[in-house]
Structure 1
Amino acid sequence: MMNKWEGIVLKSIPYGESNKIVTIYTREAGKMTAMARGAKKPASRLAAVTQSFTHGFFLLRTGRGMGTLEQGEPIDSMRHIREDLEATAYASFVVELIDRLTDDQSQSPNVFSLLYDALHAINEQYDPEAIALFVEWKMLPVAGVHPVLHQCANCRATDGEFAFSFKEIGFLCHRCFHIDPYLVRLTPTQLRLIRTFFTVPIQEVGSLKLKKATKQFMKKIVRTVYDEQVGIRLKSRQFLDQLERTPELLPKIEKPQEEGD
């Protein structure tokens, strides 16, 4: 069966002398893996459209087993992502996280929209670290984790002081702090940011400017949840950690005043 689907390339792996195995997250059918014959050859009509991050229309022949990529029409090659090391690093983290948390041919329009919004925001030069954080929080339900963020996870109260509990995977109010001795207390701003990251679409908050310390705090919470509840290890995360340790690898640029505390 031949299908023309809109999609974004998650990864492209060399296969043999001239072929590639391409993983595409499509809007219509979810994640698909296909053989792109001859795509390693520079003159191939599939060479450009099978590069990671490419957004386009893809003509796929499907049946039993792996499909075949017959044609591709690029819509956006994500040029900034390809040319900027920091953008490449965070975009790679986004696509690897989505790839690891989704199954082939498991359709989820919400995941495609999240992937689309995240890569386009990074490509439009919004803060790539903040965008990747949005994706981490929003992919928790896909990973089978459903944090309680609208009320106390124990008594269901919606007022008072709150903290994040890794034991309860969500908020605890001050009346229930005794349940988890290792909880992380939250300021009202941090509480609001966690709810924003989890619920608000990326396109509505893509220009949000956050202090480095705020992003580090948000990252520590969500990654602890992933480490304890999901247990995946990402190669792209290791590279991001290396960039954190060696910021001199990144070009020095003037950044606007940031918000958040």
Structure 2
Amino acid sequence: MSKLYAAQAIIIKARDFGEADKILTLYTREYGKFQAIAKGVRKSTSRLRGGVQMFAHTRLLLYRGKSLDLVSQAENMDSFGALREDLERLVYASYVMELLEHAVPEREPNERIFLTTLMTLGLLQGEDPELVCRMYEIKLLYLLGYHPHLTDCILCGKPLGNSSFYLSPEQGGLVCQSCAGSEKHDGLLAAGTVLAIQKLLTMDPRQLFRLKISPGQRREMEKAIEHYLIYHLERAINAKKVMKDLLHSLKPKS
């Protein structure tokens, strides 16, 4: 088997290593997630520099190594430069990358996750990065096989109607207030919020910015989906706290 191979990659993470190298965490279309080393990339003369920036969509030529594969060539397909030029979008994009890193296993390719992430990076350059993140979260849950049941109570079958439901990660979907009883859940979802989540999952992403969701629905949605993700990933995403702190600091002072 040849030691040289090509891959399309999204750069999830890049950390300094040694005097001039970087260790990259890649999510590739063909091979899934893995790490590789880019030798000498921090030198100003390196031809790899433009192709291995955070968030970049890159065509790579790699060489199989004993511990880490080596990046031999990098051709930038889309740098998503706007994500690094705006602090708010930078934090949202960093959250998406950290979520992806912790959600997918090593060396298990999933083309739909790759393409969904690529689409999300493009949409994050638009006008509503918060809504883009909510869409990515629910689509990622679906593609990982954790998609919550969202049409009625998963325990008794009570239809959505105009009622409020809990989103239970333990049960795998909506639970009505009667079935929940005294069991603790992380917040109620109004019927309109549930419908908004359904739309985020099924709608054409190109129509995303036409979707109108009230501030109250956004808060409900964020809290419920975050709780659902933490349960299934078995960890909190550090970038989420950074994102919340940043958004709080950017709010106008009354």
- Asked if these proteins are the same fold (TM beyond 0.5), I'd say yes
Unaligned runs of 5+ in 2: none
Match in the other structure for 1:72: 74
Contact kept? 2:189, 2:221, Cα under 8 Å: no
Contact kept? 2:166, 2:185, Cα under 8 Å: no
Contact kept? 1:127, 1:209, Cα under 8 Å: no
Match in the other structure for 1:239: 242
User: 201-210 vs 14-23, which deviates more?
Assistant: 201-210
- For 1:51-130, what aligned pairs fall within 5 Å after superposition? 51-123=53-125, 125-130=126-131
Contact kept? 2:60, 2:71, Cα under 8 Å: yes
Q: How many residues align?
A: 248
Q: CA deviation at 1:21?
A: 0.6
Contact kept? 1:165, 1:180, Cα under 8 Å: no
Contact kept? 2:56, 2:78, Cα under 8 Å: yes
Contact kept? 2:187, 2:223, Cα under 8 Å: no
Q: CA deviation at 1:158?
A: 4.2
Match in the other structure for 2:10: 8
CA distance change for structure 1 residues 99 and 177 in 2, over 3 Å: closer, same or farther? closer
Q: Residues 93-125 of structure 1, C-alpha deviation per residue, up to 9 Å, x if partnerless?
A: 0011101111221111121012101101112x1
Q: CA deviation at 1:47?
A: 1.3
Contact kept? 1:57, 1:75, Cα under 8 Å: yes
CA distance change for structure 1 residues 177 and 102 in 2, over 3 Å: closer, same or farther? closer
Contact kept? 1:56, 1:73, Cα under 8 Å: yes
Any idea what SS the aligned residue of 2:141 has?
coil
Cα distance in 2 for partners of 1:38, 1:206 equals 41
Match in the other structure for 2:153: 152
Q: CA deviation at 1:129?
A: 0.8
Q: CA deviation at 1:8?
A: 1.1
Any idea what SS the aligned residue of 1:72 has?
strand
Contact kept? 1:121, 1:206, Cα under 8 Å: no
Instruction: State the TM-score, normalizing by the size of structure 1.
Output: 0.84
User: 179-188 vs 48-57, which deviates more?
Assistant: 179-188
Match in the other structure for 1:211: 214
CA distance change for structure 1 residues 69 and 148 in 2, over 3 Å: closer, same or farther? same
Instruction: State the TM-score, normalizing by the size of structure 2.
Output: 0.86
Cα distance in 2 for partners of 1:173, 1:67 equals 50
Give the aligned CA root-mean-square deviation in angstroms: 2.5
Cα distance in 1 for partners of 2:187, 2:127 equals 29
Match in the other structure for 1:252: none
CA distance change for structure 1 residues 43 and 128 in 2, over 3 Å: closer, same or farther? same
Match in the other structure for 1:188: 191
Match of 2:37 among 26, 35, 59: 35
Contact kept? 1:33, 1:66, Cα under 8 Å: yes
Contact kept? 2:186, 2:227, Cα under 8 Å: no
User: 51-60 vs 177-186, which deviates more?
Assistant: 177-186
Percent identical: 27
